[in-house]
Structure 1
Amino acid sequence: MSLDRPDGPGPRRVLLLGATGTIGRATARALVARGHAVVCLVRRRVGPTPPTGAADPPRAPPGASERIVDFADPASLARDGIRGERFDVLVSCLASRTGLPADAWAIDYGVSRNALEASRAAGVTQVVLLSAICVQKPILAFQRAKLAFEAVLVASGLTYTIVRPTAFFKSLSGQVERVKRGKPFLVFGDGTLTACRPISDGDLGRYLADCLDDPARRNRVLPIGGPGDAITPRAQGERLFALLGREPRFRHVPVALLDGIVAVMATLGRGVPALAAKAELARIGRYYATESMLVRDPATGRYDDAMTPATGSETLFDYYAQLIRGEAVAERGDHAVF
């Protein structure tokens, strides 16, 4: 078998968290391609049982084994996940589904800490953590939860790599279908308030897998983006219309509208938990509408394209073209704004 792995200490036993998400699946494929023995710990299904004949949810890719655990229960992690076996590396792509405070602290911090303790007891000496570049300016609950676990990991004494990627293709693809249907591309303000270097699932998965063997990435916090210069929402819209062979049409949404929604929902949410949750989701939306997903210069507080490292070869606009041709399907998850 041909292994897609640089020279290193040889194949290792890897515990992978978050393997059923798009990035987790890409990371699992990259780890398997490099010859590692990958065991994916998968959350138990929550919610109603799907109807007969419904498609199964995404699972671990071929070449990786899967074990279903209750992440909230440390005993289940040990009993159902680790099973008394030894492991070398923990790779975590785990993240809360909504970013709401209770979910974020339960998953991004609580479950992550449980998994760290369980994996250390199983012999793990190296941890690769997928975090997020937005924790540079933490004003939201999920950002604080991620930072709290980053601090626990750094203090653990284990060899660590914390990877903070910029925007994902899936989070920037929500308007492809609406534009195909003849609707304008929505932007906040003039469409140039923010910029990012989008990174594909595949490129990010390969980057995470290579962290196991690259000494230069150990005991470091690493921001990473995709190839090319940073792009604004307006540039995304212009290229999408060009790919469709249409004249660009934009609808400008004032940021003040989001501010009003946040204020109203927060006020009403003082007595209605469901509205408090909607207020937090609106805060998350406003954050991404006004903050760039680039490295933030600590000296100036400004986001800097030149300071944001790049990796990979897959571009957002190649992905747009695949979506238009029907060669890819966007899995947007719970954080969709549009």
Structure 2
Amino acid sequence: MILVTGATGGIGRKVVRLLRQQEKPVRAFVRLTSRYSELEHRGSEIFIGDLRREKDIQQACRGVQYIVSAHGSDSDALSLDYRANIELIDQAKANEVKHFVFISVLGADRGYEDAPVFKAKRAVEKYLEASGVNYTILRPAGLASNLLTLAERFRETGLYLLIGDPKNRTSILSTDDLAKMVVDSLTVEGARNQTLAVGGPEILLRGDIPQIFGRIFNKEPIVINPPLFAIDGLRSALGLFNAQTQKALGTYRTLLASEFFCTKEEIANLERIYSFKLETLENFVRRYLAV
């Protein structure tokens, strides 16, 4: 049995689909308010619970041989990105789980003090590495699926909002490729006990993205490029009313201000370990938006 947390999320849902296509037994950890009927229809065992509750995690882990941690934090990095994953690892040890796949974030090891998600992910990485449980830690760069809404808006208007430095480098990763790596990591020997930077096959400038959209939709991009301090002003204003949102925006600002890309050597290593060619951003957008 394979436990997948975050099973109704953008990554987790794809992971469950792939596992069920391979007729692997899956236990999907979902919230009562989430949309999980598709997963149930595909033959997944549905576990309704709350990752903030240790008892729910303990019950969900009973009888599993593999764990995939694919959940996000909903602005609660301490409870979900950190505590829930620590408990999952403890349960993996207690249940003698064969392999644990943890989806972290590229740059988790850079020491970003103002990014709670990055700090939580790094602490979990260290805990997992020292746990004695076989693991694969995947550190993805930006996901192509996160750009689909921007691509659809661009198709309608030609507008592209780019906050921060357009010269910052990035490696946009196909979300489908990440899901394949997650599933393959459960059995591929080359991924065992590895921490891997995961990105797409191209090192892009952030300013290249609207140009790619322009090529796809045959439109001249109109790029709106507000400075990064606009986010700082928003954080300060929100901090007067909601401290948790202010902290969450710290992670968002880190993502906008920094470079997140894989080297050519890291990309070649991924393709060697997982034995498939990574998908470009342009191909991903064309495929999803039927262009």
Q: What is the TM-score when the length of structure 2 is the normalising length?
A: 0.86
Please give the residue correspondences for 1:71-150 in structure 2 after superposition, counting only pairs within 5 Å: 71-79=51-59, 81-82=60-61, 85-98=62-75, 103-137=76-110, 138-139=112-113, 140-150=115-125
Among candidates 168, 184, 190, match of residue 210 of structure 1: 184
Q: Is the 8 A contact 1:21 1:58 kept in 2?
A: no
- Contact preservation (8 Å) 1:211, 1:217: yes
Gaps of 5+ in 2: 272-276
1:199 corresponds in structure 2 to 173
Q: Of residues 49, 57, 66 in structure 1, which corresponds to 2:46? A: 66
1:181 aligns with 2:156: yes
Greater mean alpha carbon deviation, residues 317-326 or residues 172-181: 317-326
State whether residues 31 and 50 of structure 2, in contact with CA within 8 Å, keep that contact through their aligned partners in structure 1: yes
CA contact (8 A) 2:7 2:28 kept: yes
From the superposition, tell whether residues 37 and 190 of structure 1 become closer, same or farther in structure 2 (CA, over 3 Å).
closer
Deviation at 1:256, TM superposition (A): 2.9
Shift of 1:157: 1.0
CA distance in 1 between partners of 2:36 and 2:133 (Å): 33
Q: Secondary structure at the match of 2:266?
A: coil
8 Å CA contact 2:30–2:48 kept in 1: the answer is: yes
Task: Report which stretch shifted further, 58-67 or 217-226.
Answer: 58-67
What is the CA-CA distance between 1:207 and the residue it aligns to? 0.7
Counterpart in the other structure of 1:277:
244
Given that 1:128 and 1:211 are in contact with CA atoms closer than 8 Å, whether structure 2 keeps it comes out as yes
Shift of 1:265: 4.3
Give the counterpart letter for 2:46 in structure 1. E
CA shift, 1:38, in A, is 1.6
Give the aligned partner of residue 236 of structure 1: 209
- Amino acid in structure 1 at the alignment position of 2:181: Y
Q: Which structure shows the bigger proportion of residues in helix conformation?
A: 2
Q: Is the 8 A contact 2:116 2:248 kept in 1?
A: no
* Aligned residue identity for 2:48: I
What is the number of residues matched between the two proteins?
A: 281
| TM superposition shift of 1:89 | 1.4
1:209-250 CA-partner distances (Å, limit 9, x unpaired): 1112222221121111123x2112221101112222222221
Aligned pairs (5 A) from 1:225-264? 225-227=199-201, 229-264=202-237
In the alignment, structure 1 residue 317 sits paired with structure 2 residue 282: yes
Instruction: State the partner residue of 2:253.
Output: 286
Structure 2 residue 17 is matched with structure 1 residue 33: no
Q: Which stretch of structure 1 is more off in the superposition, 110-119 or 88-97?
A: 110-119
Instruction: Describe the superposition over 1:148-179 as per-residue Cα deviations: whole angstroms up to 9, x where unpaired.
Output: 11121112111111111111012223322332
1:158 corresponds to 2:158: no
Provide the residue aligned with 1:22 in structure 2: 10
Find the structure with the greater CA-based Rg.
Answer: 1
The 3-state SS of whatever aligns with 1:60 is helix
- Residue identity opposite 2:39 in structure 1: A
RMSD: 2.4
Letter matched to residue 2 of structure 2? V
Percent of aligned pairs with the same amino acid:
24
Q: TM-score, normalised by structure 1?
A: 0.75
C-alpha spacing 1:189/1:14, structure 2 compared with 1 (3 Å): closer
Matches of 1:58 and 1:147, distance apart in 2: 33
Q: Displacement of 1:322 after TM fit?
A: 4.0
| Kept in 1: contact 2:93–2:131 (CA 8 A) | no
Contact 1:92-1:128 within 8 A present in 2 as well: yes
* C-alpha distance in 2 between matches for 1:278 and 1:19: 24
Offset of residue 129 of structure 1 = 0.8
Shift in CA distance, 89/240, structure 1 to aligned 2, threshold 3 Å: same
Report the CA distance between 1:143 and its aligned residue. 0.9
